[in-house]
Amino acid sequence: MFVKDLYAISPQSTFDLTFEGGEVLEIVADRYLANEPNYLEFIPAGQLRRMGKAVRMGIGAGLPLIQRNEPLDGIIIGSANGGLEDCIKFLNQIVDYEEGVLTPTNFVQSTPNALAGQLAILSNNSGYNCTHTNGSLAFENALIDTKLQLIDRAKTTNFLVGAVEEISEYNYNIDTHAGRYKGIATSNISLLESKTAGTICGEGATTFILSNNATDAFAEIVDVTLITCPTKEELTEMIHVFLQENNLNTEDIDTIVLGNNGDGRLDHWYNEVVSPLFPIAQTLHYKQFVGDYRTASAFGL
Q: pLDDT by residue (tens digit) across 81-101?
A: 876 777 777 788 888 877 877
Amino acid at 74: G
Residues in Cβ contact with 4 at an 8 Å cutoff, skipping those fewer than 6 apart: 69, 158, 208, 209, 210, 211, 216, 217, 218
How, if at all, do strands 2-9 and 219-220 pair?
antiparallel
DSSP H or E run through 209: strand 204-211
Mean pLDDT of the chain: 92
| Stated pTM of the model | 0.92
Q: pLDDT by residue (tens digit) across 248-271?
A: 999 999 999 999 999 999 999 999
* pLDDT given for residue 83 in this prediction: 63
Q: pLDDT by residue (tens digit) across 194-229?
A: 999 999 999 999 999 999 999 999 999 999 999 999
Q: Which class for 96: exposed (0-12), middle (13-18), buried (19 or more C-beta within 10 A)? A: exposed
* pLDDT given for residue 109 in this prediction: 67
Residues in Cβ contact with 162 at an 8 Å cutoff, skipping those fewer than 6 apart: 58, 61, 62, 76, 77, 78, 139, 142, 205, 206, 207, 208, 298
The phi, psi pair for 151, rounded to 5°, reads -65, 135
Angle (CA) 114-109-111 rounded to 5° is: 55
Distance between CA 9 and CA 7 in Å, rounded?
7
Q: pLDDT by residue (tens digit) across 107-126?
A: 776 777 889 999 999 999 99
Mean pLDDT across the stretch 40-57?
88
